Amino acid sequence: MWNYWLGGKDHFEVDRQVGDDILKVIPDMALFARATRQFLQRAVHHLTADLGVRQFLDIGTGLPTADNTHQVAQRAAPSARVVYVDNDPLVLAHARALLTGSPEGRTSYLDADLRDPEKILAGAAETLDFGEPVALMLMGILGHISDDDEARSIVRRLTDALPSGSYLALYDATNVVDPASAAAIEIWNRSAEPPYVLRTPAQLESFFEGMELLPPGVVSCPLWNPPAAEIGAATEIDEFCGVARKP
């Protein structure tokens, strides 16, 4: 469904049908999907093209969609290395089939859970050099860790393993713009697994503690360094994001 909302080609008729049903209830869901994907694209391009990052650790990648991390990074730097992490066998099966990188770079996949950062770091070290900067990508996944202390501990254990000059990029949903988002999450949490918790922008900013936030800080995703043509015209949404550098 996410691929469908993004205008991709890797989805089935049932995805389109259910996706359309969801849009009847939450009309802005496709907007949310596009806005968060555009943030990922802008963040990865900025990290690669402008800041010289050549290694990415993308945890909770989900099913492949359009313009994934390795595609954006390797367009700017073909030698870029990307490790995708997920604990869903279906995601990993699709990833191996669809996420093929450039000949100059490397793209690999780990079957691991965010709650086991040591396993993630050990597996990622087979592809990434932790003596050089790494960009840690946590896109829409921390909401599945409902306990704030646990979530911060996981992020800290991951970032502690990264060298100086590394980066953390993340987004997650809040409930500060549209009350419908909170209602949708409540419906989700009645029957879905894993559940999802909404945090405030200030709580999201706390994940960057000890790091140097890049401008414009933690903001609604469409407001994070939009293209010049979109400045002043972006629609604010409940998904907030940020990127920070480890000193």
Which pLDDT tens digit goes with each residue over 174-229?
978 677 667 767 776 776 677 889 999 999 999 999 999 999 999 999 999 998 77
State how far Cα 110 lies from the chain centre.
16
The token duo for 200 is: 């405030």
Q: What is the pTM of this model?
A: 0.88
Mean of pLDDT values over 41-54: 98
Tell me the pLDDT band of 87, cut-offs 50, 70 and 90.
confident
For residue 97, what pLDDT is reported? Answer: 60
The token duo for 34 is: 């596009």
Say yes or no to pLDDT of 44 above 90. yes
For residue 117, what pLDDT is reported? Answer: 97
For residue 95, what pLDDT is reported? Answer: 65
The more confident residue out of 21 and 168 is: 168
For residue 100, what pLDDT is reported? Answer: 64
Say yes or no to pLDDT of 98 above 80. no
Long-range contacts from 194-203, C-beta under 8 angstroms, 24+ separation: 194/144, 195/144, 195/146, 196/143, 196/144, 197/143, 197/144, 197/145, 197/146, 198/143, 198/173, 198/174, 198/238, 199/142, 199/143, 199/148, 199/172, 199/174, 200/174, 200/176, 201/174, 201/176, 201/240, 203/148
For residue 125, what pLDDT is reported? Answer: 98
Terminal CA-CA length for the chain = 38
The more confident residue out of 183 and 166 is: 166
Q: Give backbone dihedrals phi and psi of 55, rounded to 5 degrees, phi first.
A: -140, 135
CA separation for the pair 140, 69 (Å, rounded): 14
CA separation for the pair 79, 74 (Å, rounded): 7
Q: Residue 27, preceding bond cis, omega within 30 degrees?
A: no
Helices (H), 49-124: 69-76, 89-98, 117-124
